[in-house]
Chains A and B, each alone.
Chain A
């Protein structure tokens, strides 16, 4: 049973608002990831971290930012939401060894109107 949590589960917000998507895991994993996924489509890596105070941009350019001040917490922030940000955002974590599976949260479905 994965112990990784994302809030909110669903979010509808107006254009221009600042939002933070929360992601927390209780497994002590060093690696954490954020993926963006449009319905029925592939997952695109937008941010990742391999420990406290380390964050990197992923393969898909994103206007979002992330922080990793604590091992268990990896929030994603959009300073000014736009309709093009409408998507599902999935957070994941894994241990450091190469064969470690990634555990995923249930995702946040974001709609910007």
Chain B
């Protein structure tokens, strides 16, 4: 079975500073993918970044980067130069069993990020 753990219920950061949101995962499958989503108060889920288990380099997308440490089974999201609009819930998710017919997308409990001026 696969499991995602996000241990930070809430995080605070000042505008323009960087922040790291933690995510650890557990799976016995060697092939898996890790995703981060942002959920503003309006409720929609916005895809931010993806890292495959066989990707050699850490993924980056604009101000978002993923600090992937395979041996530690962690996939932390780093947001650089925080903006007020970054205030939202952030979810880490994993899709395992990549070589089977269907791969379920399993989510962690989320981290609420608050960016202050």
The distance in angstroms between the C-alpha atoms of A8 and B33, with both chains bound, is 32
- Set of chain A residues within 8 Å of B37, measured between Cβ atoms: 104
Q: Choose among A33, A48, A50, A102 the residue that contacts B47 (Cβ–Cβ < 8 A).
A: A102
Asked if residues A101 and B43 are in contact (CB atoms below 8 Å), the reply is no
A40-B52 contact given A31-B102, A98-B31, A102-B105, CB 8 Å threshold: no
In the complex, whether A109 has a CB less than 8 A from a CB of chain B is yes
**Shortest distance between the CB of A99 and any CB in chain B (Å):** 5
The distance in angstroms between the C-alpha atoms of A41 and B89, with both chains bound, is 9
Interface size of B by CB at 8 A reads 27
**Shortest distance between the CB of A106 and any CB in chain B (Å):** 5
Residues of chain A at the chain B interface (Cβ within 8 Å) = 31, 33, 35, 40-43, 45, 48, 50, 56, 58-59, 88, 90, 92, 94, 98-99, 101-107, 109
The A interface is mostly helix, strand or loop, or mixed, namely strand
- Among all A-B residue pairs, the 4 with the closest Cβ atoms: A104-B45, A98-B98, A43-B107, A42-B109
The distance in angstroms between the C-alpha atoms of A42 and B5, with both chains bound, is 11
For the complex with contacts A40-B112, A94-B105, A105-B44, 10 further pairs of A-B residues with Cβ separation under 8 Å are A42-B108, A42-B110, A45-B104, A45-B106, A58-B104, A99-B33, A101-B35, A102-B47, A104-B45, A109-B43
Asked if residues A92 and B107 are in contact (CB atoms below 8 Å), the reply is no
Closest B residue to A6 by beta carbon equals: B44
Q: List 12 A-B contacts (CB under 8 A).
A: A40-B112, A41-B109, A43-B107, A45-B106, A50-B102, A59-B106, A92-B105, A98-B98, A99-B50, A99-B52, A101-B35, A102-B47
